[in-house]
Amino acid sequence: GATIGILGGGQLGRMLSVAAARLGFKTHVFEPGGEPPAAQVAHRLTTAPYTDADALARFAQSVDIVTYEFENIPTSALNIIEKYVQIRPGREALRVSQDRLSEKQFLQNLGLTVAPFADVPDHDALEKAVETIGTPGILKTRRFGYDGKGQARLKTPQDIAPAWADMAGQPAILEGFVEFTHEVSVIAARSPQGDIACFDPGENVHRDGILHTTKVPARLNASMRTDAVLIAAKILNALEYVGVLGVELFVTRAGLIVNEIAPRVHNSGHWTQNGCTVDQFEQHIRALAGWPLGNGSRYADVIMENLIGADVKQVADLAKEPNCAVHLYGKSETKPGRKMGHVNRIVK
Ligand code: ATP
Ligand code: MG
Ligand code: MG
């Protein structure tokens, strides 16, 4: 059978490997770090840094297609891989989403609503940005941020200096603070033929900047529900995207505001494992392989809860709950803020 190459061996790479195996594919995971969660389930693992051109070339030659579980893969590594094999989702999706500035510009050019934003290459630019955007605001590094890392909140202009210091010299963007009522996300897929399938939007609650729960159905009226799906479809088509994409949205009284996109399977889509016939991981593999997309219909109300750090100690109790599906990532070391697993509770 065909082999799917996966860049990144974290929990997303692990769950993609499981889905691929179920469809009869093999996976080869490329991961620089030690003890990757995906190693326990992938058919093959390469442990090497993204700067190892030979390892990348060998990896690329051993697989039929390459996908990824995170968006911060160095361009130089992608260039080597692409000499041998196709990367899905494509380079444009990565280029756009690797940098918050290009991401915001891309979304705005599509006619979508985003928070007011300004490019902040240095301290002076931050002072000017605060004049135009005002406070409160959030300063975010343009690259490499996740789980709320690389962000500083500005309540008043007095926060300019400490917020800039938090960026540690990295280029940033300032975003106006959005007074949202709640946050939702859409997990959507597009096939090489241009078919699109969306999962029902989920409602997300963060704790200490990390996703804590996703609840489906999300609180959305009918027009916003349609809007959420149309927004996702617009992004997928504009990128000629192949695979699963996550779109994070703020819900406001005036409508939906796009926060950010993730060109991959997404933590807020984990509920699909127990709420849908075809989950986001299988959907991604189907799209890559050119299979028909599964429909995203939801057959249950689900609350996904992340097990972060010491939360994982509750697992014996969680396993006793009758309608609670436990998913563990096989990480040996528990650390604060580390995603150790999640549960999907079927609530209706
Ligand atoms: P992820 O782990 O989802 O990739 P991230 O580190 O990329 O997160 P964001 O999604 O940009 O960060 O922001 C994290 C959270 O901070 C958001 O989910 C939201 O709760 C809050 N937030 C971000 N930007 C804004 C904004 N402009 N206005 C209000 N709240 C915001
Ligand atoms: Mg993000
Ligand atoms: Mg986010």
- Tell me whether residue 194 is in a domain: yes
CA of 233 to the centre of ligand 2 (A): 19
Q: Which residues line ligand 1 (CB under 6 A)?
A: 115, 138, 145-149, 175, 177-178, 183, 206, 209, 248, 259-260
- Tell me whether residue 102 is in a domain: no
Which residue's alpha carbon is nearest to atom 9 within ligand 1? 148
Same domain, 138 and 248: no
- Tell me whether residue 73 is in a domain: yes
What pLDDT score was predicted for residue 348?
87
Same domain, 32 and 122: no
Same domain, 188 and 171: no
Same domain, 46 and 151: no
What pLDDT score was predicted for residue 140?
98
What pLDDT score was predicted for residue 1?
78
Same domain, 191 and 339: yes
Same domain, 250 and 306: yes
Q: What is the mean pLDDT of each run of 10 residues along the chain (348 residues)?
A: 96 98 98 96 98 98 98 96 98 97 98 98 97 97 94 97 96 98 98 98 96 98 97 98 98 97 98 98 98 95 98 97 97 96 96
Which residue's alpha carbon is nearest to atom 5 within ligand 1? 146
- Tell me whether residue 99 is in a domain: no
Same domain, 123 and 80: no
**Per the annotation, does 206 bind a ligand?**
yes
Same domain, 211 and 278: yes
pTM confidence score: 0.97
Strands 202-207 and 243-252: unpaired
Same domain, 258 and 155: no
Domain membership of residue 192 as a residue range: 182-346
- Tell me whether residue 93 is in a domain: no
- Tell me whether residue 168 is in a domain: yes
Where does a domain end: 66, 87, 108? Answer: 87
Mutate to test the pocket of ligand 1, among 146, 259, 264, 308 (most ligand atoms within 8 A of CB): 259
Supply the ipTM of this predicted assembly.
0.99
Same domain, 257 and 342: yes
CATH assignment of the domain containing 241: 3.30.470.20
Same domain, 325 and 190: yes
What domain count does the chain have?
3
